[in-house]
């Protein structure tokens, strides 16, 4: 794994880290944090420039946030009107969600929660959340989110040896935990909707 990542970085430079950051927001909701931790380890022991890696991933994450925001703002409403009922999002539920959702808090803290960080920017665009405020929170959140996990890898690997396989296993465990939590919430919301109908 280590040699493969180093090969990619030597071939594509920081562009590969930018893409990782971008798809961390736009792509499938998986815990990218384990990869960020590993980048920190590589920065400590393999000479990857720490600041450049952090800025490249953060820039990718910010680009992902802006892309999802613009998609939500431009095509979110028509998609919601047409397909919302298939995912349990009727117009009445949508209005209630808009009224009770604390977007400022969710945008920042959502970076640390797989699934929420992918949903938040799209929802912000859909609800016409202030672009300037969205941009400010996204810049701050992207930089802190990425730096936090990179520094975990960088700092901890200074004191103990962390093998790449351990980071991979941790990532898999977090992903399985995330899937279980997602399934539990889906079943809970489905049961709640069924009880309301009856």
For the stretch 76-113, pLDDT in tens is 666 665 555 545 555 566 566 655 667 788 888 888 88
φ/ψ (deg, to 5) at 95: -65, -40
Domain borders along the chain are 2-197
Please report, in angstroms and rounded to a whole number, the separation of the first and last CA atoms in the chain: 52
What pLDDT band is residue 115 in, cutting at 50, 70 and 90?
Answer: confident
Distance of CA 108 to the CA centre of its chain: 11
- The mean of the pLDDT values for the chain is 75
**Lowest-confidence range among 6-20, 67-81, 133-147?**
6-20
> Could you read off the pLDDT of 25-77 as tens digits, one per residue?
887 766 678 788 888 888 887 778 889 999 999 999 999 999 999 988 887 66
**Residue among 74, 72, 67, 63 at smallest CA distance from 139:** 63
> Is 162 a residue whose pLDDT tops 70?
no
pLDDT of residue 136: 95
Q: How far is CA 166 from CA 9, 48, 156, in A?
A: 21, 20, 13
68 and 26 in contact (C-beta within 8 Å)?
yes
Burial 53-92 (b: 16+ CB within 10 A, else e): bbbbbbbbbbbbbbbbbebbbeebbeebeeeeeeeeeeee
Overall pTM > 0.85: no
- pLDDT at res. 170: 58
Q: Quick one: how far is CA 18 from the chain centroid?
A: 14
């Amino acid at each position: 794994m280590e040699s493969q990542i180093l090969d990619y970085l030597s071939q594509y430079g920081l562009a590969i880290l930018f893409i990782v950051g971008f798809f961390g927001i736009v792509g499938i909701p998986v815990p990218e944090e384990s990869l960020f931790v590993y980048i920190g380890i590589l920065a400590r022991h393999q000479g990857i420039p720490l600041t450049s890696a952090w800025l490249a991933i953060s820039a990718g994450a910010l680009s992902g946030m802006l892309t999802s925001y613009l998609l939500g703002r431009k095509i979110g409403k028509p998609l919601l009107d047409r397909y919302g009922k298939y995912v349990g999002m009727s117009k009445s539920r949508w209005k209630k969600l808009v009224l009770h959702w604390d977007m400022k808090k969710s945008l920042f803290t959502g970076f640390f929660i797989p699934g929420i960080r992918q949903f938040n920017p799209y929802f912000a665009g859909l609800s016409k959340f202030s672009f300037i405020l969205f941009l400010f929170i996204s810049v701050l959140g992207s930089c802190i989110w990425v730096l936090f996990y990179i520094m975990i890898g960088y700092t901890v690997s200074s004191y103990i040896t962390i093998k790449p396989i351990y980071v991979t296993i941790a990532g898999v465990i977090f992903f399985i935990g995330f899937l279980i939590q997602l399934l539990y919430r889906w079943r809970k919301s489905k049961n709640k909707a069924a009880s309301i109908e009856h």
